[in-house]
Amino acid sequence: MDTELARTFLTVIDAGNFIGAADRLHVTQSTVSARIHSLEEQLGCKLFVRNKAGTALTPAGHQFQKHAAVLVRTVEHARQDVGISRGYRASLTVGGRFGLWERLLLRWLPLMRRAAPEISVRAEIGFETDLMQGLIEGRLDIGVMYTPQSRPGLTVEQLMEENLVMVSTRRAARAEPDSDYVYVDWGPEFYAKHNARFPEFVGAGITANIGWLGLQHVLQFGGSGYFPIRLVHPYLENGQLHRLSDAPDFPLPAYLVYASDGDRAVLEPALDGIRQVATEQT
């Protein structure tokens, strides 16, 4: 079976419809439909039922989902094994949000090199959608993110809980979004809690989807915003930023996601190291 068909099948599930899958795969909707039709012909059954809400899996589709994930993961692992650099016995691909690399996963990399020097590591940055897709397809072995999705064959484990605090370059700034406030998109949970706490907030002059970008703007040009305490701690210590103690803090859990049936000899040194660094950071 062509793994491209299985990958398209998994993408349709993740996107919820054929149009969304086509966008993610950078192909036309008719191409996605043709691939699914070909897959259904090979399997001799219907995999999806289309409705107004998008697509829904048939019982046969639910059964095939776990096999499709294993098929794609096996092929991707085979490609990685074939491409292992000389002198290493295995390779590991780890993806994470930009903010979770900063002062967390970057500190884990040297630990991993010391703990398992025979394993080569590929480091990637991405958002939750891309990270989850990589894990489903087997391109990623470990994902570190804020808002994972539950998927068959994947283990989701809470790694730590970030504490988002409001900081400002002005010591006497108001403990609420002001004209120089930079809104950072920390995900849907933060959005809901932020709106509940600041119901009159109608939007910021600057919005960033990466915390590092918003933080650099505040540091260079002034302003305020919500950032993880572990990232702004050095700037609070040297006086560049000031914590607005009257503003509410928002918890933001971070998670480890990895294949439940992954090679434990390769995964465990990496998972243990990431857990160790997270404990030290919190």
- Using alpha carbons, select from 53, 258, 66 the residue that is nearest to residue 155: 258
pLDDT digits (tens, 9 = 90+) for 244-279: 999 999 999 999 999 999 899 999 999 999 999 999
Give Cα separations from 215 to 90, 182, 190, 235, 262 (angstroms): 37, 8, 17, 10, 36
Q: Average pLDDT of 120-138? A: 91
Q: Average pLDDT of 159-163? A: 96
Pairing of strands 154-168, 242-243: antiparallel
| Domains detected in the chain | 3-80 (1.10.10.10), 87-159+253-281 (3.40.190.10), 161-252 (3.40.190.10)
Q: Average pLDDT of 210-218? A: 96
Please state whether the predicted TM-score (pTM) of the whole model is above 0.85: no
- Using alpha carbons, select from 162, 198, 163, 161 the residue that is nearest to residue 183: 198
pLDDT of residue 88: 84
pLDDT digits (tens, 9 = 90+) for 55-76: 899 999 999 998 888 888 777 7
Separation CA 155–CA 147 (nearest Å): 14
Cβ-contact 146, 97 below 8 angstroms: yes
3-class secondary-structure state, position 282 = coil
